[in-house]
A and B are shown apart, each in its own frame.
Chain A
Amino acid sequence: MPSNRQTQPHFVAALEDTPIAAIDRLDETEKARSTWADAWESLRGKPSFWIASALILLIVIVALFPGIFTQVPPDQNCLLANSNKGPEEGHLLGFTRQGCDVYSRMIHGTQASVTVGLLATMIVTLFGLVVGALAGYYGGFFDAIVSRIGDIFFAVPTVLGAIVLMSVLPERTPVTIALVLSIFAWPQIARIMRGSVLSARNSDYVTASIALGVSKFRILVRHVVPNAIAPVIVIATVSLGTFIVAEATLSFLGIGLPPQIMSWGNDINSAQSSIRTNPQVLIYPAIALSLTVLAFLMLGDAVRDALDPESRARR
């Protein structure tokens, strides 16, 4: 080693500038935060979350208590004299071709749409979650069978499958539509859950739990599922909107809800004939449909951001 190199003076920082803390002491002043509390913290700061929530709350209230919003009966006292008439006092959005109040029909149609959406989402999520978790966790023969059955259903487009099934069903109610949609939609959730469980199953904390003597099923319920569920929640929120659209599609095609049950899809369908003369009949239920779907998509987006582990890590 040459010695002609420059050596720098030995510098020591003043202790008051660089106070050293006790090694690895817990900061007791901070508040405890779980994953969910963290997610809530993130959601709370997002305007889109609040807008979506407010919209959804409004939609749910409308669906439950349409009477608060309108006293006009939607399908009685429809006078043909009012056919395709424009807005007037007490009938803000005008009349349909049959002379019924557009606003009232829109309000009353909420219930069927929201019921189908919620019901289908619940069935799909529960079934997909259980099946996907079991398949991913236990693997083997059960996994192979379930995954192949899922693939078969996955290959059939949901709406196409629903069209075929609906056309042979004797009775068409919101419940049957939800069931039919669920039959073709569960594999998506099951797949996501399975993949998510597969990665959670191989984590160190699961190995640690096995070595601690925790039973296999208990590990699934207590460790694997809670850590794997986040993507499913996101997809479920988003798919709620798509189920509502699917119901509208089926009703529009005339094989969804029967005409005597009011729904946005039915109204859009019957508005077809007067689209040139009286477009508002089509536009208002369509807006209601779009807003509802938008609200759930926005909520899904916000929830995804809040639960995404990568964006969490950056916080």
Chain B
Amino acid sequence: MSQTVIEPVSTAVRDENSPLLEIRDLEVGFQTQHGVVPAVRGVNLTLYPGQTLAIVGESGSGKTTTAQAIINLLANTGTVTAGQILFEGRDLTTLKPKEMQDVRGRLIGYVPQDPMSNLNPVWNIGFQVEEAIRANGGAMSRKAAKLRTIEVLKEAGLSDAEDRLKQFPHQFSGGMRQRVLIGIGLSARPKLLIADEPTSALDVTVQRQILDHLATLTRDYGTSVLFITHDLGLAAERAEQLVVMYKGKVVESGPSQEILANPQHPYTQRLVAAAPSLASRRIQSAKHSVAVDTDVSAAGANDQVLVNRAIEREQAAPAKDLISVQGISKMYRIRTKGFKYNELLAVNDVSFGIKKGTTTALVGESGSGKSTVAKLILQLESITSGQIEFDGQDVAGLKGADLLKFRRRVQPVFQDPYGSLDPQYNVGNTIAEPLLAHKVGTAKERQARVRELLDQVSLPWASRHRYPSELSGGQRQRIAIARALALKPDVLVLDEAVSALDVLVQGQVLNLLTELQTELDLTYLFITHDLAVVRLVADNVCVMQQGRIVEAATTDEVFDNPRQSYTQELLAAIPGGNFEFGR
């Protein structure tokens, strides 16, 4: 390790062996209408100088709340109700607001989650970085501050830093914004950097670049890093120490390699088993060895089920394509100034076919045109050129009754389980809606069908009275699947259908989808940015880049022997992909 040049701001040299940050029995509660709801319940963790520690957990596990409590960024309703947060031996929970201001930025830097909303759109980048430098650096001449700003941006890995000072956040890509935020976070050379899901909103390849750069920087400065992430693979790859949180408590902590190789707590075991980047390897090996541990990890058993089904499907695959897409393109006209238009080719000469009863995955990063393809196939947008055939019939320009017939057979499930269900409709009415719209059956028959569908997605009959706001993301997505299945379609178009879900829930929904596929002989078009998920469910993969399909083959071929450099890049960027995990 290159322990280099820059000395930390503080002159107090503390022992390397005494912890930089020590959290003892921390409890945080939020004030609500129904009294104080605990969010963090007795968390302990220790971070030594120069170390990287990751807190891993699902949404609602209290990982972000813990991090925010350190520098008191809790929302107004949240308070630390018990415990200590010792930073270099000083208890941060007892600091006055003014003292805390001094700690923030200068001693503890913070990189927020969403680069899209954490830069102020009305100020240019230079101003925002300079603001942070001035806030933490004390008195400084304008010129010095500007020079330092350029330096910070350069260190954060932005090219042409001088020219970019006058640019505004909207002129930056997501990755560039996150670099700026990292630059701001590290500008005062803090001893600790808290990075709250710093790359969750970014594409995998960008994520890798950013994290590599962050690792280099913090190693050079000797900064400790506290990572907050939901991604076990990412945590394993980037952190030496791991803290697994569940429902506000630490369930397991220790050296990350040891935890992932040998998870002890049932929850960690579950998490390790379900993490798709890890499990995707398992499917491959499980094909050769039938030995699968069965006791705690239900997902492990399901992997075997998935494999068997995949084999069955391979053998039983019929020859004809159910959906055949031939050379489709979609052009969007974007008005620039006045009456001029720029033409944007969102989908460029895309062809592929899907056989009945199989799953084809369309993989790509944001802006690759994968979702547009889904919309074209669903007839939600019209194609500019090319042909889409469904069951031997050209579907472009279907109207009236024919379109209705097509919609009955091809149903969508959308990404956002929070947005795709009408908040005013209860579950029963939501699922019954397609039946009503297509005038299927009597009221009684429809009710029977709703019952059957709820059963298929393993939700209790009692849930029919619930409203979407009362359900979890996974439950909502199961409702969306039930609604899509109501008309007994042949094809489901799943547009990022599991991307917004926590790993465990994601695994559950993927298992459900696979079960339904065999049970109902469904054909899936699976659109996702997550290659790890693809490995679990897809038979064929089409990799998209900038509107084109760059590689199309069976899943095994793509994963074992990617031909295109882009595919190789994508595969290499999966966090924890090349990490050895035991279970």
Spell out A's residues near B (CB within 8 Å).
Answer: 1-2, 5-13, 15, 17-18, 20, 23-24, 26, 28, 30, 32-35, 38, 45, 203-205, 207-215, 218, 223, 226-227, 315
Contacts and interface: CB of A to CB of B under 8 A. Distances in A.
Contacts of B254: 7-11
Contact of B422 (A20, A24, A227): A227
Contacts of A12: 251-252, 264-265
Contacts of A32: 426, 465-467, 470
3 shortest A-B CB distances, which residue pairs?
A: A10-B254, A204-B419, A213-B407
Interface in B437-496: 437-438, 459-460, 462-463, 465-467, 469-472, 474-475, 480, 483-484, 487
A315 B474 CA distance: 21
Contacts of A28: 460, 462-463
Contacts of A226: 422, 424
Nearest to A226: B424
Contacts of B425: 223
5 contacts: A1-B240, A5-B50, A18-B249, A45-B33, A212-B437
Contact of B33 (A30, A213, A315): A315
A227 B424 CA distance: 7
Given A8-B253, A10-B264, A30-B470, A211 B411 contact: yes
Interface residues of B, number: 70
Contacts of A208: 412, 414, 420-421, 480, 483
Given A20-B267, A205-B421, A212 B407 contact: yes
B128 interface: no
B318 interface: no
Task: Give the secondary structure class of B's interface.
Answer: mixed
Contacts of A209: 422, 433, 437
B460 A26 contact: yes
Interface string B508-534: 100000000000000000000000000
A213 B438 contact: yes
Nearest to A7: B255
A34 B470 CA distance: 9
Given A24-B474, A26-B460, 18 more contacts: A5-B240, A6-B48, A6-B51, A12-B251, A13-B251, A13-B252, A20-B267, A23-B270, A23-B508, A26-B466, A28-B463, A35-B424, A207-B414, A211-B378, A212-B484, A213-B407, A213-B437, A315-B33
B258 interface: yes
A315 B32 contact: yes
B77 to A, nearest CB: 8
Contacts of B247: 18
Give the one of A26, A215, A223 with max B CB within 10 A: A26
B474 A15 contact: no
A181 B241 CA distance: 70
A12 B437 CA distance: 53
A8 B19 CA distance: 11
Given A205-B422, A212-B483, A223-B422, A13 B265 contact: yes
B48 A213 contact: no
Contacts of A24: 472, 474-475, 504-505, 508
Contacts, number: 153
A291 B48 CA distance: 66
A15 B422 contact: no
A17 B249 contact: yes
A35 B467 contact: yes
Nearest to B1: A2
A7 B51 CA distance: 9
Contacts of A1: 1, 240
Nearest to B464: A32
B467 A33 contact: yes
A212 B536 CA distance: 27
Contacts of B253: 8, 10-11
Interface of B: 1, 17, 19, 32-33, 44, 46, 48, 50-51, 240-241, 246-247, 249-255, 258-259, 264-267, 270, 378, 380, 403-404, 407-408, 411-412, 414, 416, 419-426, 433-434, 437-438, 459-460, 462-463, 465-467, 469-472, 474-475, 480, 483-484, 487, 504-505, 508
A10 B241 CA distance: 10
A95 B262 CA distance: 92
B255 A10 contact: yes
Contacts of A26: 459-460, 462-463, 466, 471, 475
Nearest to A37: B467
A5 to B, nearest CB: 6
Contacts of B423: 35, 205, 227
A57 B504 CA distance: 53
A18 B267 contact: yes
Nearest to A205: B422
B255 A8 contact: yes
Contacts of A8: 46, 241, 253-255
Nearest to A206: B422
A34 B425 CA distance: 8
A18 B265 CA distance: 9
Given A32-B467, A35-B467, A18 B474 contact: no
A35 B426 CA distance: 10
A204 B469 contact: no
Contacts of B17: 6
A10 B380 contact: no
A162 B19 CA distance: 76
A45 B505 CA distance: 36
Contacts of B475: 24, 26
A223 B251 CA distance: 43
B414 A10 contact: no
Nearest to A215: B437
Nearest to B436: A214
Contact of B437 (A2, A20, A30, A218): A218
Contacts of B419: 203-205
A2 B505 CA distance: 37
B255 A213 contact: no
A23 B421 contact: no
A204 B418 CA distance: 9
Contacts of B46: 8
A207 B508 CA distance: 26
Given A1-B1, A13-B251, A213 B270 contact: no
Contacts of A17: 249
Give the one of A13, A28, A34, A209 with max B CB within 10 A: A13
